[in-house]
Structure 1
Amino acid sequence: MGLVLFPGDADNSSPDVSWSYSGFAAFRRRLAETEGFVLSEMSGFGGERPWRDVSTALEPLLDHPDDGGDDLSPVECASILVRLEAITNRRAAEGGDQLLQQHIEDARQLAGVLRLCIDKDVPLAFLRSPPTMEPLTRLPNVDVKPLPRRKVKGCSTCCHGSLPKER
Structure 2
Amino acid sequence: MDNVIIREAKKEDMYQVCQLIKDLAIFEKSEDQCKMTPELLMKDGFDTENPIFKTFVAELHNRIIGYAIYFISYSTWLGKSTFLEDLYVDSQYRNQGIGKKLFLCVAKIAQQCQSKRLDLHCLSWNSALEFYKKVGVRNITEIENWNYLRIHGDELDRLVE
Could you say which TM-score interval applies, normalised by the shorter chain?
Answer: 0.3 to 0.5
- Which has the larger Rg? 1
Q: State TM-score, norm by structure 1.
A: 0.31
Q: State TM-score, norm by structure 2.
A: 0.32
Q: Which has the higher contact order (CA 8 A, sep 6+)?
A: 1
